[in-house]
A and B are shown apart, each in its own frame.
Chain A
Amino acid sequence: MDAVLQLFGRQFWTNFVLAMTMQWFLTIWIGLIRPQNWKLPLKWVGWALFPAFIGEPWSLLIPPISAWFYLLRHRRHLVLIFVNATIVIFLVVVLINDVTRQVAIELWSRKIADGAPAIAARLFFQIFIYSLISLAVSGMHIQPGNLTKLALSRKEQWTVMAMLASLTVLAETSSLIIHHLQISHAMLTFSLSIELVMVLLISASLFGFLQSFFSRQRMRAKYQETLLRTRYDRRISDQVQAIRQFKQIYQKQMLQLGDYLDAEDYEGLAAYYETLNNRWQATSHLAGLEADGLQQLGDPALKSLLFQKILAAQNRGRDLHLEIPDAIVSLPMASMDLLRIVGILLDNAIEAPIVGDRAEIYCAILVYPESYEIAVANPVSMTTPPQINRFLRAGYTTKGNGHGQGLSTVRELIDRTENAALQVALKRGMLYFTVILTKPGR
């Protein structure tokens, strides 16, 4: 070990190993550096040689700075949060390095603590801590990409950065004191304990920070769920309302018919019957609902959603054709996600501008040997077709502001559902969305 150390000097190896671990961590942390294959560690070795040959402590700044420039070029919005994260990591590393060194000095002696085996052991210990953090990072999915989703505002980020920066200054001074000043044993113990307290504080605050993050996220999910639930409840009461209205109209018409019969006014009866006939045609959709295939569907929530959308389509003067040719007990997807997807796709079709006189919207749920399929289709303009490649990005819409967030949500939900696939196609003046759900165990 000594011989190897002498070959390049102590700083060389320290820098080399630290740069390697740093890069490993950055890769896991940023998660965007590509390609991530077996050649990647070799690249790390290459890059780690730079700070190693420079051999100064400051050269260890090279990996994070280059990562920072990478982000600045490619993912600008992640820059700030990356700086914060790096400071945290830096703090942990510096403090751990100091503490372990100091503990070694306390336990054995300065000579042993600065000897090659002790340095190696310290490096190993650091790598161990790094790995722990890295595992936690990848395990908890707290890469910056996900962190931005947690909706930290810019202000919050700057505040955190200011706090972290002041902590860094503190840590640096204390490390300077420990390493370079000849101080008494008591003083040393004192500063050591302060460092220890800082390490604990940082870990604790980090933990609390993430905890609040995740609880915030959970709260939001819960909120959305209750929102959906109440919407669902409202839907049911709307339906009850519609049926009650239908009953009232029906009774009134019956009475009216009876009046004509009592008065033996057959001409009036015939005239009234004519008007009724027209009206019955308007309500035939309601009566025809069962025939439309809803009774084939076992999932009550989905059934209710489809029923509601048929009514909503009618209100907008559109005709929603439902095709469910085979019986379906349930669909292999989380119920809330499924409802959101179907709701968004149907809303999108219903709210799309009417093209010419083609007001139909089609929705089908089909069964195949190994999969289910939910398809929605609506007519679109042939001359200015919608740009489907933009559809699934956030914010695209043909309906003015405030719409269009939905379709990117569909993609997100499909993305995270393992057995789901999505096809979007333009064909013969129609826009088709098809969600394919493979049956589990296939």
Chain B
Amino acid sequence: MLAVYLCEDNPEQLQHYSDVIKRYIMINDYDMVVNLATPSPQELLKALEENPPEYALFFLDIEFPAEKMSGLETAIAIRKLLGFAELVFVTTHSEMALLTFERKVEPMDFIVKDLGRTQIDQKLRENVDYGYQRYTNYLGNTENLFSYSIGGRNFSLPMGDVYFVATAETPHKVTVHAANQLVEFPGFLKDIADQYPELYRTDKSFLVNIDNVSGIDSENRRLIFPNGDETDVATRRFHEVKTLVQKHLKS
């Protein structure tokens, strides 16, 4: 069961969002329920503390002029309280500190109120869909994660997105090449290899996610990825890697 929580200080809007979401859940027969729709972030947090849901989806406003707490503080508190929580901010354009929110609480989406009712409703439904999809993925444990930490903070991305990990030009730094992402951080390839045995060490400086290889260049002994990146393969491993990749490409 995925629990939905709404927090919005305008009672009319709150009612409207709640209606849209409830109706949409019913139509799609999702295993979801709207647990709480409240104008007060304090009340929301109290409810979460008293009766923490295992999986939750939040629609939060950002500014609560009447309250002491802001939407950001609420979101950070929620992140601390719950293991699985997807956050969607519903807010007016001007009050949005997009980057701060993006970096501090990694919301699933922002819904901008200025867009007009129909657009908002559409976005609400999309996010219900998307939240539910993430929830089912999470339950089915299909979403394997690749995690790393920088300066005491943990980051993760779906393992299915990872193309390969390579040593950077300077020692003690590695780069992660993934679909739509590129990360460089201090670390050692060996530690990553130990942590993720599913990544294949094709060469001294490359750890490859064989599932994402899109082609093979036998002449130069290189693997090709969907974004055009290439990695070297050590001579003595090439045969083995080639069989693996061909098996994977066929399937």
| Interface residues in chain A, defined as those with a beta carbon under 8 Å from any beta carbon in chain B | 34-36, 321, 323, 325, 362-364, 366, 368-371, 373, 375, 377, 385, 387-392, 411, 414-416, 418-419, 421-428, 432, 434, 436-439, 442
Contact = CB atoms under 8 A, between A and B. Distances in A.
A421 B151 CA distance: 9
Interface residues of B, number: 32
A389 B99 contact: no
Nearest to B182: A424
B150 A377 contact: no
Given A366-B104, A370-B153, A389 B227 contact: yes
Which are the 9 A-B pairs with shortest beta-carbon distances?
Answer: A371-B151, A364-B99, A438-B151, A421-B185, A370-B152, A35-B204, A34-B204, A426-B180, A424-B182
14 contacts: A323-B99, A362-B98, A363-B99, A373-B103, A375-B102, A377-B99, A389-B229, A392-B182, A421-B185, A426-B181, A428-B109, A432-B99, A436-B151, A436-B153
Contact of B181 (A370, A418, A423): A423
B63 interface: no
Contacts of A366: 99-100, 103-104
A202 B34 CA distance: 83
Interface string B99-114: 1101110000100000
A298 to B, nearest CB: 19
Contacts of A392: 182
Given A387-B228, A389-B227, A391-B182, A34 B103 contact: no
B203 interface: yes
A425 B180 CA distance: 6
A423 B151 contact: no
B17 to A, nearest CB: 20
Contacts of A390: 228
A370 B177 CA distance: 25
A34 B177 CA distance: 21
Nearest to A360: B98
A436 B170 contact: no
Contact of A418 (B153, B177, B186, B203): B186
Interface in B102-146: 102-104, 109
A169 B104 CA distance: 68
B36 interface: no
A35, A389, A414: which has the most chain B beta carbons within 10 Å? A389
Nearest to A423: B183
A388 B151 contact: no
Nearest to A324: B100
A317 B204 CA distance: 48
Contacts of A391: 182
A417 to B, nearest CB: 9
B170 A415 contact: yes
A404 B171 CA distance: 25
Interface string B77-93: 00000000000000000
Given A321-B98, A421-B150, A364 B103 contact: yes
Nearest to B180: A426
Contacts of B228: 387, 389-390
Contact of B184 (A368, A389, A414): A414
